[in-house]
Amino acid sequence: MSTTTPTAIQVNDLVKTFDEVEAVRGVNFAVATGEVFGFLGPNGAGKSTTINMLCTLLKPTSGSARVAGYDVVRQRDDVRRNIGLVFQDPTLDNYLTGTQNLKLHAELYGVESKLVEPRMRQVLKMVGLWERRDGVVGTFSGGMRRRLEIARGLMHSPRVLFLDEPTVGLDPQTRRSIWNYIRELKQREEITIFMTTHYMDEAEWCDRIAIMDHGDIVALDSPETLKAGVGTDRVTIHTDDDQATIAALRERFGIEAKVSEGAVTFGVPGGEEFVPRLFAELGVPIRAVSVSRPTLDDVFMSFTGTSIRDAEEDRGKARNRIMMQMMSGGRR
């Protein structure tokens, strides 16, 4: 039964439609056993819908997916036995203690009784909660709860661990420590990790990432390859007149720049060599310049034409508009 499959996740033409909205539009990808695979994109890109289909929580409208060698629709139970889940929203019983939560999980999954204690000890130590194991979860901080959820997701030695935004809403230090656990986990257990995130910096830790936007995968490769593929460095300049700067850049260099976070920013090959020309020819006083190697945000921008933050703001605005309409009785 415990033969290792070469592919942990295999997805073919997966589609999910809610009413009229196509949340996921026919995605294809495969994740190898032992990989840390990241799903990246703004909120509302279809990441959670995809993860929910892979976890057997949503039925695909069409297409198929196999997880740990089992079909997510026809062999739902087998998939469930072999996956661990950490959701975006908390799913702990706040009135029970840490150990009570883990024990409950082990019983529900039918973990062999004599292995429950040692396994619990291992996962609790791994996330640094062994000392606090008898505390009531309601008294835990947000970071501790998330770590406990990760420990619980690992209680039954899943072959694939799904983490849906495991670090959202946590402070940077806790985020870092959670990433330490994830990397350590990869070394210790034969486990494949599939996660979603909209923090670009975190995606760097993945072996491979898929960038998702509007229900489609727009890019899929290792972070290094994706960044190398951008081919341009990011130049950010602070001036007193952003509009004049943008116009000058277009006229003299043929560069399309835009204002992002209070500075003019654009991509250009060989950014460091470009800076002296910029000073010589721009004609607008420059207060500060910075040049950076491409980040995953640049990758995202090169594939979608917008930064991940702007994409979220746009969608947020659209959502707010709809909410306002609904509240004012414009819809139903």
Partner 1 sequence: MSTTQEESRAVLADDPGELEVVRVHVPKRSVASELRAIKIVWRRELTRFASDRLRIVTQLVQPFLFLFVLGGGLQTLASGGTHGVNLKTFIYPGILCMSVMFTAMFSAASIVWDREFGFLREMMVAPVRRSSIVLGKCLGGATVATCQGIIVLAIAGLVGVPYAPTLLLGVFGLELLLAFTITAFGIMVAIRIKQMQSFMGVMQMIIMPMYFISGAMFPASGLPGWLTVLNRLDPLAYAVDPMRRLVFSHLHISAAAHHALDSGITWWGWRVPALLEAGVVLGLGIIMLAVAIWEFSAVE
Q: Is 33 in the site for partner 1 (CB under 8 A)?
A: no
What is the nearest approach in angstroms of partner 1 to the Cβ of residue 302? 36
Do the beta carbons of residue 284 and residue 239 sit within 8 Å?
yes
**Sign of the torsion formed by the C-alpha atoms of 57, 60, 66 and 70:** positive
Partners of 136 in beta bridges: 97
What is the nearest approach in angstroms of partner 1 to the Cβ of residue 193? 16
Which segment (39-47, 96-104, 218-226, 283-291) binds partner 1 by CB under 8 A? Answer: 96-104
Q: Closer to partner 1 at the Cβ: 47 or 80?
A: 80
Record the tokens describing residue 327, joined without a space.
């509240």
What is the nearest approach in angstroms of partner 1 to the Cβ of residue 172? 10
CB atoms within 10 A of CB 325: 12
CB atoms within 10 A of CB 176: 12
What is the nearest approach in angstroms of partner 1 to the Cβ of residue 267? 37
Record the tokens describing residue 67, joined without a space.
């997880």
Q: What gap in Å lies between CA 270 and CA 255, rounded to an integer? A: 14
Partners of 66 in beta bridges: 10, 71
Site string for partner 1, 102-121 (x = CB under 8 A): -xxxxxxxxxx--xx-xx-x
What is the phi-psi region of residue 37: left when phi exceeds 0, alpha when psi lies from -120 to 50, beta otherwise?
A: beta
Record the tokens describing residue 297, joined without a space.
């945000």
Q: What gap in Å lies between CA 282 and CA 276, rounded to an integer? A: 10
Site string for partner 1, 171-200 (x = CB under 8 A): x-xx--x--x---x---xx-----------
In sequence order, what are the residues at sequence separation of 6 or more whose Cβ sits closer than 8 angstroms to the Cβ of residue 315? 42, 43, 44
Please give the helix or strand (H or E) that residue 244 lies within, else none. Answer: helix 242-253
- Give the closest residue to 198 by CA, choosing from 326, 307, 41: 41
Q: Closer to partner 1 at the Cβ: 15 or 96?
A: 96
What is the nearest approach in angstroms of partner 1 to the Cβ of residue 158? 8
Residues 51-80 that bind partner 1 (CB under 8 A): 55-59, 77, 80
# residues contacting partner 1 (CB under 8 A)? 59
Residues 307-326 that bind partner 1 (CB under 8 A): none
Q: What gap in Å lies between CA 62 and CA 225, rounded to an integer? A: 31
Which segment (18-26, 66-74, 95-103, 256-264) binds partner 1 by CB under 8 A? Answer: 95-103
Residues 133-152 that bind partner 1 (CB under 8 A): 141, 143-144, 152
Helix ranges, 3-82 (H): 47-54, 76-82
Which segment (5-13, 94-102, 224-232, 262-270) binds partner 1 by CB under 8 A? Answer: 94-102
Q: Closer to partner 1 at the Cβ: 136 or 289?
A: 136
Residues that bind partner 1 (CB under 8 A): 2, 55-59, 77, 80-82, 85, 87, 89-96, 100, 103-112, 115-116, 118-119, 121-122, 125-126, 128-132, 141, 143-144, 152, 155-157, 171, 173-174, 177, 180, 184, 188-189
